[in-house]
Chain A
């Protein structure tokens, strides 16, 4: 089982998929920073002075980390950055679910879609599950990377 879950065939596909997801997610935010700032404001977790800065910087970090995964450059660093971002997203959405503060996630779309409170709460739950799924993908990359390191340390060629 471990051999299959850390197999390079799976790893390369997970890496490309995760990279593509983050590139796709970053584009609408880069295209419209004021709307993304509004989304971050709605979370009511970021101090006022950091809202606009976060709205500017976060999408570019997502884009660069996603591109790094797709191109296979600085894979581990990109994987770690994406893992941290996902953990932050999951915590932020979960806190607002707990507070019953219905918000649009702003993950892939920054336009206000005029949803009801119930629709937003449902979408937030879906977003948490989706982000946990992506965190599992990060976990797979980490596990595969660790196995590769172990094999290299033992001077054994990784399975092809």
Chain B
């Protein structure tokens, strides 16, 4: 006040300057206050999250620090292989039956036998390349082909991906099956005998350690283990296989197409919390 008077500043300018200083101080304090409040919201969130996790049930709890080797690695997209084009004989078949006068095939031949795609094209003459004899119709009663994979120990790689036939063969031999999906999903339906080993739940390391204790000698660790999840782009089974490989389980197989494929094949399914 005194300084301004000494400088000879008019009173209205003095008031204006004071108001500006006050406003600036107020704005700064409000901004700081907002930052403090935002920090308080985040801090409260951290505390509540930790408390909630501490009291969460086993299948809802996560370990604070997870181990996910491919956390920053973008998976390569698997482009589905397009099936070979199938020529439908619909239009050609109609032509042979509705216009018998233009084609020299006896009408009895077209009415008594159901033409295959190749035969229909041959009759009309649309595709000169299609002169090969018709392929035998697929039979639905054939037995599934035998397993293609030899289930040998493979210490050089964490897992081998296998398909349904191999999985079924191993299941028939009472090999250990591990379900890497969430426990809640496991309870809705799983492969009979499979144990729940969800990689996203907090007790996964305990379960892996327990398995290691169960199979504590080299011979037991070399027994095959099959892991599955939901197929498709599901990586949970691969992550669990990596974990097991890390503790010397050298004969792990991943059911590539997972539980949906198992169901599609009409294989038995068990529901509930027990294997």
Contact = CB atoms under 8 A, between A and B. Distances in A.
Interface of A: 30-35, 37-38, 41, 44-49, 51-53, 55-61, 63-65, 68, 74, 76-78, 80-81, 99-102, 112, 114, 117, 149, 153
A80 B35 CA distance: 9
Given A34-B59, A77-B38, A112-B230, A57 B68 contact: no
Interface stretch (B47-55, B96-104, B144-152, B261-269): B47-55
A60 B48 contact: yes
Contact of B74 (A74, A101, A117): A101
Interface string B106-137: 00000000000000000000000000000000
Nearest to B23: A153
Interface of B: 23, 27, 30, 34-38, 40-42, 44-46, 48-50, 52-53, 56, 59-75, 77, 182, 198, 200-202, 230, 232, 234
A66 to B, nearest CB: 10
Contacts of B34: 76-77, 80
A74 B73 contact: no
By Cβ-Cβ distance, the 3 closest A-B pairs, closest first, are A77-B37, A61-B45, A34-B200
A49 B65 contact: yes
B66 A49 contact: yes
Contacts of B67: 48
13 contacts: A33-B56, A33-B60, A34-B201, A41-B71, A44-B70, A53-B65, A60-B48, A61-B45, A64-B45, A64-B48, A81-B38, A149-B27, A149-B30
Q: Which of B60, B66, B182 has the most CB of A within 10 A?
A: B66
A42 to B, nearest CB: 9
Nearest to A47: B71
Contacts, number: 115
A23 to B, nearest CB: 13
A34 B62 CA distance: 6
A159 B228 CA distance: 63
A17 to B, nearest CB: 19
Given A52-B64, A64-B44, A114-B232, A99 B182 contact: no
A56 B60 contact: no
A96 B164 CA distance: 32
B48 A37 contact: no
B41 A74 contact: yes
Nearest to A74: B37
Nearest to A58: B45
Given A34-B60, A153-B23, A46 B65 contact: no
Given A34-B59, A44-B73, A56 B49 contact: yes
Given A33-B60, A77-B37, A81-B41, A56 B53 contact: yes
Contacts of B230: 112, 114
A53 B34 CA distance: 25
Contacts of A48: 66-69, 71-72
